[in-house]
Structure 1
Amino acid sequence: MNEVTILRHALLIDCTGREPQEDMAVVVEGQRIADVVAAGRVTVSAGATVIDCRGHTLMPGLTDAHVHICAVDVNILEQHRCYPPSLLVAKAIRNLEETLQQGYTTVRDAGGADAGFRMAVEQGLVAGPRLLVSGSPITQTGGHADFRRSAEAIAPIHCCVGMTGVVCDGPDEVRKAVREQLRRGVDQIKIMAGGGAMSPADEIDTTQFTVPELAAAVEETRAVGKYVLAHLYSASSISNALQAGVRSLEHGNLMTAESARLIRDAGAYLVPTLTTYEMLGEEGAQYGVPEDNIRKINVARERSFDALKLAHQAGVKIASGSDLLGPMQRHKARELALKAQVLSPMEALISATRVNAELFRLERQIGTVEEGKLADLILVRGDPLRDLTLLQDYRHNILLVMKEGQIYKNLVQ
Structure 2
Amino acid sequence: MNYIESSAGDALQYMANVYGKGLEYEKPPFTFHSTEWEGLARDRMSKNSLGYVCGNASTGETDRKNRAAFQKWSIVPRRLVKTTTFPSLETHLLGQTLPVPIAIAPVGVQRIFNPDGEIASAAAAASENVPYIFSSASASTLEDVAKANGNGTRWFQLYWPGNEHNDLTASILKRAKANGFSTLFVTLDTYKLGWRPSDLDNAYNPFLRPDSIGAALGYSDPVFRRQFKEKHGKEIEEDLQNAAKEWITRIFPDFSHGWEDLAFLRKHWDGPIVLKGIQSVQDAKMAVEHGMDGIVVSNHGGRQQDGGPASIDCLERISKAVGSKIDLLFDSGVRCGSDIAKALALGAKMVLIGRPYVYGLVLGGQDGVSHVLRSLLGELTMDLHLGGIPSISEKHLNIDCLEYSECKS
Q: TM-score range by the shorter chain?
A: 0.3 to 0.5
Of Structure 1 and Structure 2, which has the larger fraction of its residues in strand? 1
Which structure's relative contact order is higher, taking Cα pairs within 8 Å and 6+ residues apart? 2
Of Structure 1 and Structure 2, which has the larger fraction of its residues in helix? 2
TM-score if structure 2 supplies the norm length?
Answer: 0.40
TM-score if structure 1 supplies the norm length?
Answer: 0.40
